[in-house]
Amino acid sequence: MSANTAPAVSRPRRTTFLSFSPPSITEAEIEAVVNTLRSDWITTGPKTKRFETEFAAYLSAPAALAVNSCTAGLHVALVASGIGPGDEVITTPMTFCSSVNVIEHVHATPVLADVEPDTLTLDPARVAEAITPRTKAILPVHFAGHPADMAPIMELARQHNLLVIEDAAHSLPASYRGQRVGTIGDFASFSFYATKNLTTAEGGMLVGSPDAIDRARVISLHGMNRDAWKRYSAEGSWYYEVITPGFKYNMTDIQAAIGLVQLERLAEMQQRRREIVAQYQQAFSQVDALQTPVERPEAESAWHLYVLRLSLDRLTINRAAFIEQLKARQIGTSVHFIPIHLHPYYRDKYGWKPDDFPVAYQEYQRTISLPLYPGLTDNDVADVIAAVTDICEEFRR
């Protein structure tokens, strides 16, 4: 055993499967949904409006628009920004497909720039190399909850007159240089999917300037100049006009009811996430076959994901076999992400090859996301640590 390798923890194997990332739902959320169902309004209405207001206040953002997904928010942001055919948008290969799909949806061209080796977020130096006269926007993704290095990205945007649209799906409530992530660029879109730090089951929030959000609001609901809540309220009118061909991207009051409670609980849920991360970091930093995730001094990660990296040269098994070993020990995992340029649609359309973005490609092959959510008990965390360290010892090269 290496002097830098911690001994395997002597602990009986689990007999029940530990899910990767179930939502944290309490009786308070359930009661809020029931109360909404018993009210006169279950689709977009007063609770959605309140959720927008309270979420914007939490971030110190000027305005917010509740939508049915982060993807919808990104799509609306691109449309509201006038990005379309002939335009280029620079983003990262280390993201879920939705970040790039929305660029295709507006018939613009996605341009990938590689990621930084430590945070796996968009590398500003690679962004600078990718800018052309056709570039109209940069779409950084705050990977796993750690902010992208926004200062040089914003400086590039200023120099080249580019928009910055933050994909903040992972990053509530991350901070960068003391500023909440999501309030740095021109737009930011958050995800409230079931696995996220704050959930509404499905849903998202787009934030930006009041004028930008006003444009986005019209686009997000059929292009109508008056939404249903205004039309059907006591002060409303039946008359409306369609001023642009919009989409059906609105959030419901049922979802917003969950979100309002989750927002109240966010601080306590984040505290538990950080406690779990501290246990993981302490244990795994002692194992020479593992590389733990970083948190840069200028950043506060949201710790949406705990992405561990395997030092494969110190193991006799690959990442796929490591995941199977964890599964055999009743530990659920995931991988974030299969890089964009490896997916057949993008690979074939743009002719991208695996080594075109070497950092993303190489790091993808050795990442594993471990369970990280507020409902994990200390015993659960100990089981994860024991399983990982046991595998590293059993398959040590």
CATH number at residue 299: 3.90.1150.10
Judge whether 20 lies within some domain: no
CATH number at residue 119: 3.40.640.10
Q: Are residues 189 and 273 in the same domain?
A: no
pLDDT, residue 230, reads: 61
Cα separation of 77 and 209, whole Å? 11
Q: Are residues 274 and 231 in the same domain?
A: no
Beta strands in the chain (DSSP E): 63-67, 88-91, 109-112, 135-139, 163-167, 175-176, 179-180, 187-191, 204-208, 290-291, 299-300, 306-310, 367-370
For residue 300, give the amino acid letter: E
Cα separation of 242 and 222, whole Å? 7
pLDDT, residue 5, reads: 46
Phi/psi of residue 205, nearest 5 degrees:
-140, 130
Q: Are residues 252 and 334 in the same domain?
A: no
Q: How do residues 81-119 score in pLDDT, each as one tens digit?
A: 999 999 999 999 999 999 999 999 999 999 999 999 999
Domain closes at, from 236, 262, 288: 262
Write out the DSSP string of 130-198.
H--TTEEEEE-B-GGGPPP-HHHHHHHHHHHT-EEEEE-TT-TT-EETTEETTSSSSEEEEE--TTSSS
pLDDT, residue 232, reads: 61
Check pLDDT > 80 for residue 228. Answer: no
Domain closes at, from 243, 262, 281: 262
Q: Which two tokens stand for residue 70?
A: 């982060």
Domain holding 89, by residue range, is 27-262
Check pLDDT > 80 for residue 235. Answer: no
Q: Are residues 308 and 228 in the same domain?
A: no
Mean per-residue pLDDT for 367-392? Answer: 98
Q: How do residues 9-59 score in pLDDT, each as one tens digit?
A: 468 889 999 999 999 999 999 999 999 999 999 999 999 999 999 999 999
Judge whether 9 lies within some domain: no
Q: Are residues 44 and 118 in the same domain?
A: yes
Q: Are residues 40 and 126 in the same domain?
A: yes
Q: How confident is the model at residue 237 (pLDDT cuts 50, 70, 90)?
A: confident
Phi/psi of residue 383, nearest 5 degrees:
-65, -40
pLDDT, residue 234, reads: 65
Q: How do residues 183-221 score in pLDDT, each as one tens digit?
A: 999 999 999 999 999 999 999 999 999 999 999 999 999
Domain closes at, from 262, 291, 306: 262
- Comparing CA positions, the residue from 73, 91, 99 lying closest to residue 202 is 73
Largest CA distance in the chain: 76
Judge whether 22 lies within some domain: no
Given the residues 47, 136, 196, 230, select the one marked as catalytic.
196
3-class DSSP assignment, residue 321: helix
Q: How confident is the model at residue 229 (pLDDT cuts 50, 70, 90)?
A: low
Q: Are residues 76 and 197 in the same domain?
A: yes
196 tagged catalytic: yes
Q: Are residues 356 and 390 in the same domain?
A: yes
Count of domains forming the chain: 2
Cα separation of 329 and 14, whole Å? 6
Judge whether 11 lies within some domain: no
Q: Are residues 333 and 219 in the same domain?
A: no
Q: Are residues 194 and 58 in the same domain?
A: yes
Q: What's the pTM?
A: 0.95
Judge whether 21 lies within some domain: no
pLDDT, residue 3, reads: 41
